[in-house]
Amino acid sequence: MPDSRETIVVAFGGNAITGPDDTGEIHEQFYHARVAIRGIRELLASGAGVAITHGNGPQVGTSLHRMELARGQVPPRPLGVLVADTQGGIGYMIAQVVRNWLRQEGLDRPVSAVVTQVVVGEDDPAMGAPTKPVGSSCDAETAEQLRAHGWAVSGDDRKGYRRLVPSPMPVRIVEAPAIRHLMAEGQIVIACGGGGIPVIETEHGELDGVDAVVDKDLASALLAREIGADRLIILTAVNKVVLGFGSPSPKPLDRLTVAEAERYLAEGEFPPGSMGPKIQGVVDFLKHGGKEALITSFAALPRAWKGEDGTRIFPE
């Protein structure tokens, strides 16, 4: 069970605010936000210090599509600004839902959403090797126009083409000191939406946005490290981490140590596009002072609080 003396970062899954069959309407997103908050109500009521992070993939995709439709009518916006836009919108929805739930329960805790920048390395090899698809699919003719614009594009005529952007490693959370201060004052904080707005830092300490996407789980783990969190909770689509996922004989895991997690990562058990970043983020967090991490689903979280579900990862 959560402890009122703890500081906990809870990372919502990428599609926590948008269902697979949704149209993207705002009322749908508010609905999913309410469902998500119900899943962590014990945590919110415990008095523990809480930071909530979230994905923004569907929302950024919608923003890019909107920009494509308006091409020639309004000036385009860089990807970093779109990430900031979605941080504000989703942060507003989650903060409002949390605040309303606290009020219904007679709990008096302030809630803040923080637009969050994440420093990445300009010399990160990923900056020269775009791999992360963003935006909606397009046809071959449009793909050629995107390439002429200098963008990397991947896909085929059958499934369509999508723009690719780099996905560098997060180095530092710019707003971590402010988030730490807010939490010390008892605030519930929503931060690091979509992995944060990627920025590079000049030799003079100035920040400049870059067109890239930071993995949300790696950013959440870095935030947990930088604010000195005790626990990191990553909520995803599965109840437990599974060895041999998708094989005839999968093995769900109740418990992992850092050494075991690193071994499984090296053996390729956790793919880079799904469980891999979650496990890597957890390992980084625990190797830098974190006490415990939990990976589970929203549905299984109430059981996981009691030790009846989920995968717990410990330093040793």
User: Which are the contacts of 4, defined by CB distance < 8 A and separation ≥ 6?
Assistant: 46, 47, 48
Q: Is 216 a catalytic residue?
A: yes
Contacts of 203 (CB under 8 A, 6+ apart): none
Asked if 52 and 83 touch (Cβ cutoff 8 Å), the reply is no
Which runs of E-coded beta strand occur in 15-72? 49-53
Cα–Cα distance, 81 to 199 (Å, whole number): 11
Rounded distance, CA 225 to CA 288, Å?
Answer: 7
Catalytic site residue from 39, 89, 278, 310 = 278
Check if 306 is active-site. no
Pairing relation of β-strands 197-201 and 117-120? Answer: parallel
15 is catalytic: yes
User: Which residue in 132, 193, 194, 240 is the catalytic one?
Assistant: 132
Helix (H, G, I), strand (E, B) or coil at 55: coil
Assigned token pair, 99: 């605040």
- Catalytic residue (one of 216, 239, 276, 310): 216
Active site annotation includes 100: no
Is 159 a known active-site residue? Answer: no
Query: Considering 15, 47, 155, 160, which one is annotated as catalytic?
Result: 15
Kind and range of the H or E element at 245?
Answer: none
Catalytic residues: 14-15, 132, 216, 278
